[in-house]
Structure 1
Amino acid sequence: MTTVGIATGAGSGTGEACARRLADMVDVLLLADRNDAAVTAVAKDLSGFGRAVVEPFAVDVTDREGLDRLSRRVGELGALRAVAHAANVAPENADWRGIIEVDFLGTVLLAEALRPLAAAGTAFVYSASVSPLMAHIEPDPAVAAVLDDPAEEGFLDRIRDVIGPALEDPAWAYPWATYGVQRFARAEAVRLGPVGARVCSLSPGAIDTSQTRLEAARYESVRQLIEQTPLGRTGRHEEVAAVAAFLLSDEASYVSGVDVVVDGGLCAALGDG
Structure 2
Amino acid sequence: MPRFKDKVIVVTGGASGIGAATVDAFWQEGGRVAALDIRERPDRVPDGVRSYRCDVADETSVEGTFDRVAMEIGDIDVVVHSAAVLGGSGPFHQLSLDTWNRYIDTNLTGSFLVSRAAASRMVAKATKGRIILIGSVNSVASERGAAPYASSKGGMRMLTRSAAVDLGPYGITVNMILPGPITTPATRENFEQPETRRTFERVLPGGLPGSPADIAAAALFLASPESRFVTGTDLMVDGGMLAQILN
With structure 2 as the length reference, what TM-score do the two structures score?
0.83
One-letter code of the match for 2:41? A
Is 1:11 matched up with 2:11?
A: no
* SS of match in other structure, 2:150: helix
> Which digits, 9 at most, give the CA deviation of each residue in 1:71-116, with x for residues without a partner?
2123323221111111111124893321111111111111122221
Task: Answer whether contact 2:183 2:191 (CA < 8 A) is retained.
Answer: no
Report 1:35-74 matches (<5 A). 35=39, 37-38=40-41, 41-43=43-45, 46-47=46-47, 53-74=48-69
What is aligned with 1:123? 130
Are residues 26 and 107 of structure 1, via their aligned partners in 2, closer, same or farther at CA, if it must alter by over 3 Å?
Answer: farther
- CA-CA distance at 1:26 after TM superposition: 5.4
Distance 1:258 1:181 in 2: 11
Going from structure 1 to structure 2, the CA distance change for 1:213 and 1:187 (only over 3 Å counts) comes to same
| Matched-pair contact (CA < 8 Å) for 1:83–1:123 | yes
CA contact (8 A) 1:133 1:267 kept: no
Decide whether the 8 Å contact of 2:128 with 2:172 is kept in 1: yes
Question: Retained in 2: the 8 A contact 1:4–1:79?
Answer: yes
Q: TM-score, normalised by structure 1?
A: 0.76
Deviation of 1:133 after TM superposition, in Å, equals 2.4
Within-5 A mapping of 1:1-273:
3-25=7-29, 27-35=31-39, 37-38=40-41, 41-43=43-45, 46-47=46-47, 53-76=48-71, 77-92=73-88, 95-118=99-122, 119-135=126-142, 171-216=146-191, 223-270=198-245
Task: Give me the identity figure in percent.
Answer: 28
Count of residues paired in the alignment: 230
Distance 1:103 1:170, change over 3 A: farther
Higher helix share: 1
